[in-house]
Amino acid sequence: MIELVFDDRCTHCGKCAEVCPTDVFDWRESHAPTIARQADCHTCYLCEAHCPGDALFVGPLRTPQPVTRDEVLALGVLGNFRRALGFDTHEPGSYCYGEPVIEPVGARAIPEPRERGGANAPIYAALAVAAQRGLIDVSGERAPIDREVLLDQL
């Protein structure tokens, strides 16, 4: 659960109050947020992920975990979740957090090589069912998509 806001680190951007899915914070322009509804926090850490000042501390318990500012500072964890996600250096969706190298663990779990932008990767062309029914154009190169195939009408 959200436990502490470090006012001295807060940039007053209001992002935490905007993105918090459970509406935990109250926020006013040019102020640090207040934790107004702690009981509604569901410990997703996403306020921390979006906090540019690393000014928030979420405890890992699903009930309140009384903890002091000094204790949190001593843990040295402020911002560690944001950095683990890569939200400190990348736009969401434009990076991978975690281990970037995925070792193949077996033929079934890993896709075959897929050439980026190559001419011979017409993904849809191989959707045999759709192709047989004439719902997609299987010829030619991999063209930009303006209309995706929807299998619900098959």
Tokens 């995925």 locate to 102
C-beta closer to other proteins: residue 10 or 57: 57
C-beta closer to other proteins: residue 92 or 137: 92
Residue 58 buriedness (CB in 10 A; 0-12 / 13-18 / 19+):
buried
Cβ proximity of 3 and 39 under 8 Å: no
Give the amino acid at 77: V
- Alpha carbons 143 and 123: distance in angstroms, whole number: 10
119 is a site residue for other proteins (CB under 8 A) = no
20 is a site residue for other proteins (CB under 8 A) = yes
Q: Which of 42, 45, 71 is CA-nearest to residue 56?
A: 45
Q: Which of 61, 50, 12, 15 is CA-nearest to residue 32?
A: 12
Give the contact letters, 50-89, x = binds to other proteins (CB under 8 A), - = no. Answer: x-------xxxxxx-x---------x-x--xx--xx-x--
Q: Which position among 8, 29, 30, 108 is part of the footprint of other proteins (CB under 8 A)?
A: 108
Q: Which of 114, 113, 85 is CA-nearest to residue 98?
A: 85
Q: How many residues bind other proteins (CB under 8 A)?
A: 67
C-beta closer to other proteins: residue 8 or 93: 93
Residues in contact with other proteins by CB under 8 A are 1, 18-23, 40-46, 49-50, 58-63, 65, 75, 77, 80-81, 84-85, 87, 92-104, 107-108, 110-116, 123-124, 126-129, 145, 147-154
